[in-house]
Amino acid sequence: MHADTRIASRADANEFEAPCANRKSVWSKDCSDSYLLMAYTVVLGSLLALALLGLTDPVRQWWASARSRIRSSAVLVIAMTVPFLGSSTIGAMQEGVGAASGVRLVRALALLTLLSIAAFGIIRNMRALKCAGAAALWMLAYAGLAMASAAYSVSSFMSAWKGFEVFVLVLTGIYLAGLLRKTQDVESLLNTLWLVLLFLVLTALAGAGLIPGEAFYRQLSGATVLSGVYPEINANSLTQYSALLVVVCAVLLFLPYSRKRRLGTWVVLGVVLTSMLLGHSRTSIFAGVAGILAVVFFSGRTTLFWASAATMSSLWFFSDAVIAYIRRGQSQELFTSMSGRTPFWETIWPQVLESPIIGSGYYAAQRKLFGVSSVDNTYLEVLLGLGIIGLTIFLIPIGLTAVALIKARPSPGQSSPEARLWFQLLALFILLFVRSLTGPSFETLHWNLVMFMVLIVSVSALRRFGHSPRARKIEAPLRPPSPPSLMR
């Protein structure tokens, strides 16, 4: 693989590596004080913006959901914070805890905290295992296999530790399943997730306004993209969060809202759409488009669906501005190779064939053998680390979740609360699946793993409550019993 292609691939696609070289200056000792001041400003400014948006729906409802279910909200926020504590390049350290940085020790403490909460919660409520559903239990089996791969891994400590990270987040998802006792609990969990994602989007936009020299960076192809400065968010993830919220706003706009609520939704849509376009990650933008089309199609708006599909196809083929935006200044060769991914995948395949059944060790395979934290394809990465056995176990929960979603789909035109939740879960599934094709996702310690577990337990909860909007019929209200007859 050519060096320039390899660099372009890692710069465009790698989730956790610093997005540009000058980002290192921010972390240098000479400017640490100014960086901390700016970081606090970004966070506080984002919280202020989130509070202002909370004056109207839907953000006001998201805030209310987070406050009303404080236990599940706190656990979800901690789980979403863990991936930010250090980078996933823990494999670069020596195989020992003493070499870990202070930030990674904080991550370890956060993981142990989540493990304690989840373990004790499940022990006190064993019903959580049943509530989580079969897909969550298969994810638990996947995490167990990841840890067990330390027995034959090219780096035993690395596979054991990274597998443990996945185990903790999966167990946390199962614990959350035990807290979902009614439809409102599922809605509150999703609303809290949207609130967290919106906050992350706002931090990136605040960084763009306060320190644009750090927030925007130019890729090797010449395109300028936006990334989060504090917390550090790769442009790919930023675009994914934004695209997911774009689809969520589209779902809300399809509902019978008042004008005031619609106005608030349009404001949020404008914010996240701006962030999505500035993030400039093609995979998530395509996923967002697919999500919107899916929402339009399953909501019964057939004419609007075909009109939207035709319009988007026309823009793709005939709009020079859209083509230039999608190409990002890349050559034809680099564009068709998915920013250098496909040649990189070709170099990995021979290693897969060396141990096709059990792989070469979870996570350690790509880190030790190829020097990267991700191979930019979730399924190839699982195949490399855990072989066919691991990939099979990993695919089962995806398939189970997809089948459960299909069975629970609402009837066209239905706008019940359960239908609204279903459309949001559909959007979450589409964004997660599409993202997994070109990057790290829910196979490792990642924000997407947290969101995937939220998806799994939420779908399981709706099925458990019997809320299959498609199958459920609106029944007439029960009539009071007739008075006893006075006739003998």
Q: Quick: pLDDT tens for 206-228.
A: 999 988 888 888 876 667 889 89
State residue 182 phi and psi, 5-degree precision.
Answer: -155, 170
pLDDT at 67: 93
Percent of residues, the chain, with pLDDT higher than 70: 82
Tokens representing 114? 């989540």
Tokens representing 35? 């960086």
- Tell whether 6 is covered by a domain: no
- For the segment 7-21, the average pLDDT, to the nearest whole number, is 38
CB 423, CB 293: distance < 8 Å: no
- For the segment 190-196, the average pLDDT, to the nearest whole number, is 96
Q: Which residue has the higher pLDDT, 306 or 256?
A: 306
- Tell whether 17 is covered by a domain: no
- For the segment 235-257, the average pLDDT, to the nearest whole number, is 89
pLDDT higher than 60, residue 7: no
CB 213, CB 224: distance < 8 Å: no
pLDDT higher than 80, residue 483: no
Q: Count the neighbouring beta carbons within 10 Å of the beta carbon of residue 67.
A: 11
Q: Buried (b) or exposed (e) across 275-301, using 16+ Cβ within 10 A? A: bbebbbbbbbbebbbbbbbbbbbbbeb
- For the segment 449-464, the average pLDDT, to the nearest whole number, is 94
pLDDT higher than 70, residue 100: no
* Number of domains within the chain: 1
Cα distance between residue 169 and residue 118, in whole Å:
9
Q: Which residue has the higher pLDDT, 71 or 408?
A: 71
pLDDT at 224: 84
Cα distance between residue 213 and residue 223, in whole Å:
15
**What would the 3-class secondary structure string for the chain be?**
CCHHHHHHHHHHHCCCCCCCHHHHHHHCHHHHHHHHHHHHHHHHHHHHHHHHHCCCCCHHHHHHHHHHCHHHHHHHHHHHHHHHCCCCHHHHCCCCHHHCCHHHHHHHHHHHHHHHHHHHHHHHCCHHHHHHCHHHHHHHHHHHHHHHHHHCCCCHHHHHHHHHHHHHHHHHHHHHHCCCCCHHHHHHHHHHHHHHHHHHHHHHHHHHHHCHHHHEEECCCCCEEECECCCCECHHHHHHHHHHHHHHHHHHHCCCCCHHHHHHHHHHHHHHHHHHHHHCCHHHHHHHHHHHHHHHHHCCCHHHHHHHHHHHHHHHHHCHHHHHHHHCCCCHHHHHCCCCHHHHHHHHHHHHHHCCCCCCCCCHHHHHHHCCCCCCCHHHHHHHHHHHHHHHHHHHHHHHHHHHHHHCCCCCCCCCHHHHHHHHHHHHHHHHHHHHCCCCCCCCCCHHHHHHHHHHHHHHHHHHCCCCCCCCCCCCCCCCCCCCCCCC
The alpha carbon torsion through 91, 92, 98, 100 (nearest 10 deg) reads -80
- Tell whether 338 is covered by a domain: yes
Q: Count the neighbouring beta carbons within 10 Å of the beta carbon of residue 78.
A: 16
Cα distance between residue 74 and residue 175, in whole Å:
13
pLDDT at 482: 46
Q: Which residue has the higher pLDDT, 49 or 488?
A: 49
pLDDT at 333: 74
- For the segment 77-90, the average pLDDT, to the nearest whole number, is 74
pTM, two decimal places: 0.85
pLDDT at 454: 97
Cα distance between residue 65 and residue 59, in whole Å:
10
pLDDT higher than 70, residue 455: yes
- Can the peptide bond before residue 440 be classed as cis, meaning omega within 30 degrees of 0? no
pLDDT in tens, 291-341: 999 988 888 888 888 898 888 888 877 777 887 777 777 777 777 777 778
Residue 85 confidence class, pLDDT cut points 50, 70, 90: confident
**Separation of first and last alpha carbons in the chain:** 96
Tokens representing 469? 């909007």
pLDDT in tens, 335-358: 777 777 888 888 999 999 999 999
pLDDT higher than 50, residue 51: yes
- Tell whether 41 is covered by a domain: yes
- Tell whether 18 is covered by a domain: no
- For the segment 96-117, the average pLDDT, to the nearest whole number, is 76
pLDDT higher than 80, residue 132: yes
Task: Give the position of tokens 């089996």.
Answer: 141
pLDDT at 23: 44
CB 11, CB 19: distance < 8 Å: yes
- Tell whether 469 is covered by a domain: no
Per the structure, the complete domain to which residue 440 belongs is given by 29-464
Tokens representing 164? 């443990």
CB 4, CB 220: distance < 8 Å: yes
pLDDT higher than 70, residue 91: no
- For the segment 367-373, the average pLDDT, to the nearest whole number, is 90
Cα distance between residue 247 and residue 256, in whole Å:
17
Residues with Cβ within 8 Å of 44's Cβ and at least 6 positions away in sequence, in order, are: none
pLDDT at 260: 61
- Tell whether 471 is covered by a domain: no
pLDDT in tens, 398-436: 999 999 999 888 776 666 778 889 999 999 999 999 999
pLDDT at 155: 92
- For the segment 422-451, the average pLDDT, to the nearest whole number, is 93
Question: Using CB atoms within 10 A of its CB, is residue 355 exposed (0-12), middle (13-18) or buried (19+)?
Answer: middle
pLDDT at 297: 87
- For the segment 270-299, the average pLDDT, to the nearest whole number, is 91
Cα distance between residue 358 and residue 149, in whole Å:
8
pLDDT at 451: 96
Cα distance between residue 18 and residue 461, in whole Å:
38
- Tell whether 487 is covered by a domain: no
Q: To the nearest whole number, what is the mean pLDDT of the chain?
A: 83
pLDDT higher than 50, residue 191: yes
Percent of residues, the chain, with pLDDT higher than 90: 54
pLDDT higher than 60, residue 258: no
- For the segment 61-87, the average pLDDT, to the nearest whole number, is 90
